[in-house]
Structure 1
Amino acid sequence: MEEKIKVQINNLAKIYPNGDGVKNVNLEIKEGEILTLLGPSGCGKTTILRALGGFLDVTEGSILINNEEVTHLPPEKRPTGMVFQSYNLWPHMTVEENLSFGMKLRKISKNEIKRDIEKMLAIMSMSGSEKKYPNQLSGGQQQRIAIARSLLLKPAVLLMDEPFSALDAKIRMQMREELKRIQAELNITVVFVTHDQEEAMSLSHRIVVMEKGLVAQVGTPTEIYDNPESKYVASFIGEMNFLELEGEQVAFRPEDVLICKQDEGEHIGVIQSVMLLGHYASITINTGKHLVKAFIPRNKTQNIQEKQTVSFTLNKSITYKKGA
């Protein structure tokens, strides 16, 4: 079955007066996928999201949703829903009043509003909370209600701007799992913004890595982790070691370092630290020029001690030309 393209972004540019912004953005977002815009602060990911939602005028380029041009439409005329980092719930309204507000503006019948809210609260695992006020809910519950409010308006695309970053780590992981479940259940298209690589890796069908206003790479989490196209992407996703060998940069993951006896490996160094991290250990090796991190199973650490000279080989590596 052919995948349907839900959003088409063509040659998009948004340049701010200070020269920052994004340019040459070309993306196709498929129906029913979670596409994550990932990068450090100021790389342009939120600019793209806000342009998609109609909160920013674009400098050039076009945005199509369901094959219809929306580039110059205001937010309320676009088939998009936005979920922010701050939940933006009205504190003086109950959950039910928060959820029904936008639906009433659309002149949806009372019976349909009641039925849709009940159904959506069940999907969100929040049944029975209709009469509660936002301050009676936890952060995670408030964010669920904010997501429900957007989804009740049946957007073609749900836009999410760092929605879980105000939550603590455990709740954040639960919310990621919840979002994946809800997204699969409703087959919604989600564009998600985060600077957290772990969040991007765990949530996304595809990731767009942003670098200084440009798209550095687009791919599945596996493609981006295993085959980063540039040193920037390699250093941004997951842990990565770099060695300079004969004028080239060799990049390799800590799990691809094989520690051997002193005379059996290709590279030599001294163990600087051994840190046990649950089922595996993180070993730092000082080669004299570089510090190399290796992850090894905990049961293989018995003969490894700090200040010991060892050698190591690489199971897998990627070579980048200097400056690439």
Structure 2
Amino acid sequence: MSRFLPEGRLLHTPENRAACASAATLRRAMEREELLEGVAQLCDAEHNLLVQLGPFVGWIPREETALGIAEGTTRDIAILSRVGKPVCVQIDALEERDGVLCPRLSRRRAQQSALTYLMEHAQPGQVIPATVTHLEPFGAFVDIGCGVCSLIGMESISVSRISSPSERFRVGQEIYAAVLDIDPALSRVYLTHKELLGTWAENAARFQPGMTVPGIVRGRKEYGVFIELTPNLSGLAELRPGLEEGERVSVYIKAILPERMKIKLLVIDTLPPEAPPPLHYFITRGRLDKWKYAPPGCTKVGAETIFAG
């Protein structure tokens, strides 16, 4: 799937710089229908985008700025929000304005090429690169190629429960996702994420009884407080007054019980807020057929994903 990458991944590559270097290389890129990337410099009053493409300034007519703009199914905010950001384009024509080369570009064509490729070649379980574009209470929207967006729902972000996608992702973050399903009729790709963050056993292997480690309070019950050790691993500590959800704490690991998929913790102290560490992926390539969270021999039923197709 590396042919169609999320926007921003091509911008500084030697291949992109070479293709944008001269009128001759731009013409060759146009004839070969190559994908190029530049930075949108401004959006004019007619909602055309001006794009810096190497030493040249090209333009994208409004109806070519994104899939669905011409049909009215995509709002103009999709155009305005690209200013100052990379855009993936194909060249429609090499025009001149006042004697200066001004390529006419199409982002819509680039997106349609990416979407067509995904519909024809992506399979359930396939791991693909993605970039977080914006966050909503119900999930994270990500770019899966040339600005084509898909949604990772809240329940699919991680095994450890969170109250907002912002607790796991930030806009612009480069991540991986797995294709959950494909709907050619609606031209939609459905994604999941939690399976790439490891099983219970894979995450628990990073810890040992007797360790003291940082964690995040994720939930309170009458019988204890859940502490997240990793996005796919939580333990249970005794209730302690004053602990709030989202608060960082240090915890002592009392026991790790794979047969019950349980980790016993003791809260040691509260910690100052800190940016979450980078996500640790156990899978970044290939294709999954089936994923089971619980370790072998566990008496508890954990999350399980079967990828159709």
Give the alignment's TM-score, normalised by structure 1: 0.30
- Pick the structure with more helix per residue: 1
Quick one: higher RCO (CA 8 Å, sep 6+), 1 or 2? 1
